[in-house]
Amino acid sequence: MNDFLHAVRAGAGFLTTIPVGIDVDGLQKLGKRMYLFPPLGALIGLIVGSIGLVLQHLPPYLCSALLVLALYCITGLNHMDGLIDFGDAITAHGTPEERVSIMHDTTTGVGGTVFCVMSLLILFSVIAAIGQNLLFAILIAEIIAKQSMLTAAMFGKSIHKGMGSMFIDNVRHRDFLAGLIFSCIVCWLALGVGGMLAIVSALLSALLIVYIASRNFGGVNGDVLGAINETGRMVALISIGVMTWTLL
């Protein structure tokens, strides 16, 4: 298997629960090809969005609950775990080193629990609000979530060696630009101005979290990238949901 296909397989294994196989060598190759993140996000978005097309004929709340369940069955909980660890660390007191050690703690605190619950509530509510345009909404949200991680890797500084540093230390400007161009083209084709507002909003939120992480932890790690994935998806869907209600 050549390096490109190895990276694609590693990306599919890293970003989803699809049992394609994943290893450290593949992740390292993926880290040098982070422009693959948005296209892989598009694949995830098409799968989950297609499920949304079927479910949208159900009552809105039932559709939303089942679609959230489908989303995490397909993407797994790794990034949600990152959001929980980020929530625990950001709400704690102490030095940057102490906050980073909290992220590595296997127990879940109040901060992480609140971040997780609020994330799920917002996701559930905004999917119910969007209603009948779920395919394009989920497609865009997953692309933007992955572009948000790419943005954080581009503009963040790794805290320590680990899975996160494979991406943060290896991302290049051309990877970021290639991913951004792909993301902007798909968002524009799918929802026009609304898609562009969604990507701008989400990327600004990613940069804000990078800033917060840099001030509180001294940089960015895998947990922060996971938190940015979850936040980017939420912000994108919120933007689409607000636009949908404004046009009603």
Distances (CA, A) of 7 to 23, 32, 36, 215, 216: 10, 9, 8, 32, 32
The domain spans of the chain are 37-247
Distances (CA, A) of 127 to 105, 167, 222: 32, 30, 27
Residue 88 tokens, joined: 């625990």
Comparing 75-84, 139-148, 163-172, which segment has the lowest mean pLDDT? Answer: 163-172
pLDDT tens for 14-51 read: 899 988 877 788 888 888 899 999 999 999 999 999 99
Give 139's DSSP letter: H
CA distance 130 to 141: 12
Residue 246 tokens, joined: 């404004």
Task: Name residue 97's amino acid.
Answer: E
Average pLDDT over residues 63-85: 94
pLDDT tens for 105-130 read: 788 889 899 999 999 999 999 999 88
3-state secondary structure of 111: helix
pTM: 0.93
